[in-house]
Homo-oligomer: A and B are copies of this chain.
Amino acid sequence: MKQKITIKAIAKELGVSNSTVSKALSDSHEISKETKDRIRAFAKYSNYKPNSLALQLRNQKTKVIGVIIPKIVHHFFSTVISGIENTATERGYNVMICFSNNSYKREVENLEVLTNGSVDGLLVSLSKETLENHESLHFQNLIENETPLVMFDRVDDRIQCDKVIVDDKGAGYKATKYLLETGCKKIGLITTPQHITVGALRRDGYERALRENGVFIDRKLIAEVDEEKVLHDEIALLFDQKIDAIFAVNEIYAAVAIRIAKEKGLRIPQDVSVIGFTDGLISEYSSPSITTIVQHGYTMGKQAAELLLDRIENKNNIKEPQTKVISSNLKVRESSL
């Protein structure tokens, strides 16, 4: 880690007393505007982080918690936020939310904005870019300042903090096992490219269920579709393989699969069973309604907020960071037997 610059070093560099630097940084009336500007500019330039920030966060409670999430147009995160909001309100806290829009740069900016003395602690789900290309050092600084931090869903294992995650492998296993148990023989998988962790983990569960039941894992039955653009044609190819079931790792893939099945004159679930993931509004309201893995976003938000507030209020007797795993379950609806 980069050496931290101290008040002493700033004072030496600028030829002023330690006390002048300290007063300038705390905006004391005793220091002239000119001197303040010079000291602050240098402190900023040399990336000075006052220890007082951590102290302030610990001692002068703002009764606000900050949340950073990758994107908003996403039913799962909406339900997580509901869980966070309700828990925070019950315990007398307000919530401020920033979106990273899956950008590392935005995430770093969000963090600066939120930790600028305005929050008592942070709940974070990492951006895709951070997970793929960056170390999460910006969060390491928080840990060193003893600012309470809880990561949820998209977490970085290298950061020592409380975490709440979903059992994605288990969920993929449950969905696939259910399809096998209801008599399906050729189960197509619609998943993300392998570098998207959630897709990879759910696929892992799918493959384990097949292996355990002595079913050959056929690459031709697996469609890897990019999260951002749903590829109708890519999914349509699966149907050429005479599949009798589909497990889709999100609900939009499931909805598109149902549309294609209908276009091909296949009946759901008599000819093809479909299981999706997330249990958003599409799964609930489309006809046929879609059998789905339920992720319990609300519970995840609630547990993450509780972990954080317990840390903020020192109610947590366990010093070591904890990881809670939210297990998912299958909600059977019309699209499967």
Contacts and interface: CB of A to CB of B under 8 A. Distances in A.
A134 interface: no
Interface in A140-156: none
B64 A85 contact: no
B113 A101 contact: no
A178 to B, nearest CB: 23
A280 B116 CA distance: 36
Interface string A50-82: 000000000000101000000011110011011
B255 A286 contact: yes
Interface of A: 23, 26-30, 62, 64, 72-75, 78-79, 81-82, 85, 89, 94-99, 101, 106, 109-110, 113-114, 116, 118, 252, 255-256, 258-259, 262, 280-282, 285-287
A285 B259 CA distance: 8
Given A280-B281, A282-B282, A113 B94 contact: yes
A286 B255 CA distance: 7
A89 B116 contact: no
Contacts of A27: 26-27
A280 to B, nearest CB: 7
A84 B165 CA distance: 30
Given A29-B23, A110-B94, A282-B281, A72 B78 contact: yes
